[in-house]
Amino acid sequence: MRAFLFDKYKDAVHEADVPEPIVGDRDVLVRVDAAGVNQLDEKIRAGEFKAILPYRTPLVLGHDVAGTVIRAGSKVRGFGPGDKVFGRPRDGRIGTFAERVAADASDLALAPATISLVEATSFPLVALTAWQALVVHGNVRPGQKVLIHGGSGGAGSITIQLAKHLGAHVATTASAKNADFVRSLGANEVIDYRTQDFEKVLSGYDFVLDSLGGENLEKSLRVLRPGGKAIGISAPPDPAFAKRIGLNPLLRLAITVLSGKIRRQAKKLGVTYEFLFMSASGDQLREIADLIDDGSLQPLVGKTFSFDETPDALESIAKGGVNGKTVITS
């Protein structure tokens, strides 16, 4: 089977012939019709997460899939050959930059009926991140003020739409050239990160989703009202995350130290900081599919590459500058 992988951290991605996926009793074998490309793929290749996600190399990358069911394991209910599905295979089972992938059935959902599979694969990882940030952890309610950084990117563009659907007042950071784009998604306020300091413009916010970390996260804490919450998807993991994924005591101690500064700052300001590393969920994807089919969430495919161009797609995501999601097609 053809796939694209890297041999060791920091090596370039290249094509290789790999064994067919092993399909367990609770698994679904999917023909990959389209695969989304995420910053997470590039960060894993660069070794940024090897301490907390110790994948064995060679490793086939790819976290998003939309495709056609080839067969289902004996204990799988709800999926059969020919079904169109989409999903984000769980950590330890990624590998959608391939002709076929086997995923746990609980990580998949039937694809939205109103869009193409190319459009469907633009959703899983970023939409699950948005859902878990805003709904599960943020409990965002109508009338609350939400700040979303990087509004024109793959994650930001979906999070703006979901926040607007939840009834929030939405601010976002973006370049001036993308201001109209993010407003069309539902942003009420747009801060040009190149010419404006969002900390001087915004205040009293209930929730911030930060994708940059560092100084940007520190400023984000200061625009929150007392009792507000900031969720980081790029900043240092916190002790709760380390405990949840079962890291050894030494790594848990290291993460406690690394995240200590930002947690102390949050406590001093009377706000909350949490690190979010989204988890796979077919149940949540079914709710997201309903929002897509009723028009609440729109697919935003910014750029497509053929399967043969997978290394170029990954290089493109590292450079940035694409509105919406980058997708690989079969």
**Helix, coil or strand: residue 317:** helix
pLDDT score, position 319? 83
Per-residue model confidence as pLDDT tens digits over 217-249: 999 999 999 999 999 998 778 788 777 777 778
pLDDT score, position 260? 85
Average of per-residue pLDDT values in the chain: 94
- Domains of the chain (ranges; CATH) run 2-122+299-329 (3.90.180.10), 125-275 (3.40.50.720)
User: What mean pLDDT do residues 300-304 have?
Assistant: 94
Cα gap 330→323, rounded to integer Å: 22
Nearest CA among 251, 219, 222, 223 for reference residue 237: 251
pLDDT score, position 89? 98
Q: Which of 80-89, 106-115, 153-162, 245-254 has the lowest mean pLDDT?
A: 245-254
pLDDT score, position 321? 77
Specify the amino acid at residue 60: V
- The residues facing 32 across adjacent strands are 67
Tokens coding 91? 């950590």
* 281 pLDDT above the threshold of 90: yes
69 close to 42: Cβ distance less than 8 angstroms: no
Cis before 89? omega within 30: no
- Contacts of residue 37, defined as CB under 8 A and 6 or more positions apart, other chains included, come to 62, 64, 305, 313, 314, 316, 317, 325, 326, 327, 328
pLDDT score, position 234? 83
Q: How far is CA 295 from CA 158, 162, 252, 291, in A?
A: 13, 11, 42, 6
Q: Using pLDDT thresholds of 50, 70 and 90, give the confidence band for residue 133.
A: very high
Q: What is the DSSP letter of 98?
A: B
pTM of the entire structure?
0.94
- Contacts of residue 301, defined as CB under 8 A and 6 or more positions apart, other chains included, come to 118, 119, 122, 324, 325, 327
Q: Which of 26-35, 62-71, 216-225, 237-246 has the lowest mean pLDDT?
A: 237-246
